[in-house]
Amino acid sequence: MNSSPYTSSDFALETNSLSKSFHRMMAVENLSLQVPYGSVYGFLGPNGAGKTTTIKMLMGLTKPDHGWIRICGKMMIFGHRFQRRHVGFLPDVPNFYDWMTAKEFMFLSAHLLSVPDEVVKNRIPELLALVGLDRVKKRIGSFSRGMKQRLGIAQALVNDPKVIFLDEPSSALDPIGRKEIMNIVSSLAGKTTVFFSTHILSDIERVCNRVVILHKGHKMLEESIIELKEKFPSRTIQLELTQKEHISSFLSDAASMGWIEKVEEKDGLLSLLVNDSDFAQNEIVSYLYEKGWGLRKWWIQEPTLEDIFMHVVKDS
């Protein structure tokens, strides 16, 4: 694993005006990306957004119609194999030899990538321990889906890549399996550059420090998670009145308040979706003062990546 911090000011991965169409249908159009070294970079979009097509181009498996790709400062040329020294890849549906053990499969993967034997001896036990398979002796054919995904991450790291591409690594897993995969991905931050493609918003929010949103083959935005939340302020306000008997009156009055788009009540807690949070706060204070009602507490709910995603996609 790359343990030393990156010092280069260049990006681990760059694309410029990357485009690809199939039978006159545009899958990816004018996609430009800059992925910093050592980041966990979230590539987010609904199914059919063009994520897998993009990864195949980045891996040199599909030739772009237009644009260029640079990995670790070197231009990607379709059909050339230089990128194998720098990248690892876990496809959305990985395949394995079911009759092999995890260790045997790792040795095969290392051999195919021309990893020196003296390096393999130490690296394979390290990687199997990283993904929690170091003590598993049974054949891959008896592995659960989660175990296979963890083995897939290990094999993607066997050549000590500077960039690892993970295509929907947790989409078909149960909550426990997803948590295991996310813990592994999080542990890679700063050690290698992770290009993490998914349509699961909570996974991106949990492990990524930067995200791009892709929709219908177009890049909608590219920001850090912190910048995104600053750019899209929350429009949800939570209220708890001192007297629960006032809740029904508030719900009735809310229908005529133009600044409230939606209001819900659950267990005595009011949740207001407003069109302007600053204006709404002043209106709430005025309304409660006129009614003479008490307020136990209130707070502005921080926007989630799902809120931001839905806002961006809706506006497109």
Query: Who's near 100: CB < 8 A, 6+ residues apart?
Result: 108, 139, 140
Counting residues of the chain whose pLDDT is more than 70, the rounded percentage is: 95
Q: What is the pLDDT of residues 109-158, one digit of tens each?
A: 999 888 888 888 899 999 999 999 999 999 999 999 999 999 999 999 99
- Once rounded to an integer, what is the mean pLDDT over residues 273-287? 88
Higher local confidence (pLDDT), 299 or 7? 299
pTM over 0.85, yes/no = no
pLDDT at 31: 94
Nearest to 315 by CA among 211, 209, 231: 231
Structure confidence at residue 313 (pLDDT): 74
pLDDT at 8 over 50: no
Residues 290 and 182 sit within 8 Å (Cβ to Cβ): no
| pLDDT bucket at 286, cuts 50 / 70 / 90 | very high
Buried b (16+ CB within 10 A) or exposed e, 248-264: eebeeebeebeebeebe
If we measure between CA atoms, which residue out of 164, 162, 144, 139 comes closest to residue 154?
164
Taking the C-alpha atoms of residue 183 and residue 304, their distance in angstroms, rounded to an integer, is 20
